[in-house]
A and B are shown apart, each in its own frame.
Chain A
Amino acid sequence: MSGKIFLVIKREYLARVKKRSFLLATLITPLIFPTILGLFLWIALSDTSTETRKLIEVVDENNAYFLESNEMYTFSYGELSPEEAKNLVQEGKRFGFLYIPELNLERPQGISFYSEETPALSMISSLEASLKQKIEEFRLFASGIDPAVLSSLKTNVNIQSIIVGEPGGERVSNSVVNYAVGFIAGILIYTFIFVYGNQIMQGVIEEKSSRIIEILVSSLKPFQLMMGKILGIGAVGLTQFLIWIVLISAISSLVMGYFGMTMPQQQMLEMSGQQELFPDTGQEGLMEMVQLVQGIDFFQLTLTFLIYFIGGYMLYGAFFAAIGAAVDSPSDAQQFMFPVTIPLLIAYMGLFIFVLDDPNSRVSYWLSIIPFTSPVAMMGRVSFGVPWHQLALSIGLLVAGFLSTTWMAGKIYRIGILVHGTKVGYKVLWKWLKDNG
Chain B
Amino acid sequence: MELLSVQSLNKSYGAHVALKDFDLSVGQGLIFGLLGPNGAGKTTLIRIVNQIIEQDSGQILIKGQPLKMRHVRNIGYLPEERGLYKAMKVKEQLLYFGQIKGLKKQDAKERITAWLDKLDLSRWKENRIQDLSKGMAQKVQFIATVLHQPDLLILDEPFSGFDPVNAEIIKNEILELKRQGTTIIFSTHRMESVELLCDHIALINQAQKILDGPVKTIKNQSKTNRFRVKMIRKEEGNAVPWGTMEQKEGYEEFTMDLNGRQPNTLLTELMEYGEILGFEEIIPSIEEIFIQKVNESHVR
Interface residues of A (CB under 8 A from B): 1, 4, 7-8, 11, 15, 19, 206-207, 209-221, 418, 437
Cross-chain contact of B100 among A211, A214, A216, A418 (Cβ < 8 A): A216
Interface residues of B (CB under 8 A from A): 47, 50-54, 56, 69, 72, 75, 77, 79, 81-88, 96-97, 99-101, 144-145
In the bound complex, residues from chain A placing their C-beta under 8 Å from that of B84 are 210, 212
Contact A418 B97 (CB under 8 A): no
Contact B87 A215 (CB under 8 A): no
Contact B96 A215 (CB under 8 A): no
Contact B69 A214 (CB under 8 A): no
Cross-chain contact of B77 among A4, A8, A207, A215 (Cβ < 8 A): A215
Report the separation of the CA atoms of residues A210 and B47 in the bound assembly, to the nearest whole angstrom: 17
In the bound complex, residues from chain B placing their C-beta under 8 Å from that of A216 are 100
- Name the 7 nearest CB pairs between A and B, nearest first: A210-B83, A218-B50, A211-B83, A211-B81, A214-B79, A212-B83, A219-B100
Contact A4 B83 (CB under 8 A): no
- List 18 A-B residue pairs with CB atoms under 8 Å apart, sorted by A's residue number: A7-B96, A7-B99, A15-B88, A19-B87, A207-B83, A209-B83, A214-B50, A214-B79, A214-B81, A214-B83, A215-B77, A215-B144, A215-B145, A218-B77, A219-B72, A220-B100, A221-B69, A418-B47
Report the separation of the CA atoms of residues A380 and B209 in the bound assembly, to the nearest whole angstrom: 64
Cβ of A11 to closest chain B Cβ, rounded Å: 5
Given contacts A19-B87, A220-B69, A437-B54, 15 further A-B contacts (CB under 8 A): A8-B100, A11-B96, A15-B88, A206-B85, A209-B83, A210-B84, A210-B86, A212-B84, A214-B50, A215-B83, A215-B145, A218-B52, A218-B75, A218-B77, A418-B52
Contact B82 A211 (CB under 8 A): yes
Cross-chain contact of A217 among B52, B56, B87 (Cβ < 8 A): B52
Contact B56 A218 (CB under 8 A): no
Cβ of B73 to closest chain A Cβ, rounded Å: 9
Contact B100 A15 (CB under 8 A): no
In the bound complex, residues from chain A placing their C-beta under 8 Å from that of B145 are 215
Report the separation of the CA atoms of residues A111 and B145 in the bound assembly, to the nearest whole angstrom: 86
Given contacts A15-B88, A218-B75, A418-B47, contact A437 B56 (CB under 8 A): yes
Contact B53 A418 (CB under 8 A): yes
Report the separation of the CA atoms of residues A217 and B54 in the bound assembly, to the nearest whole angstrom: 12
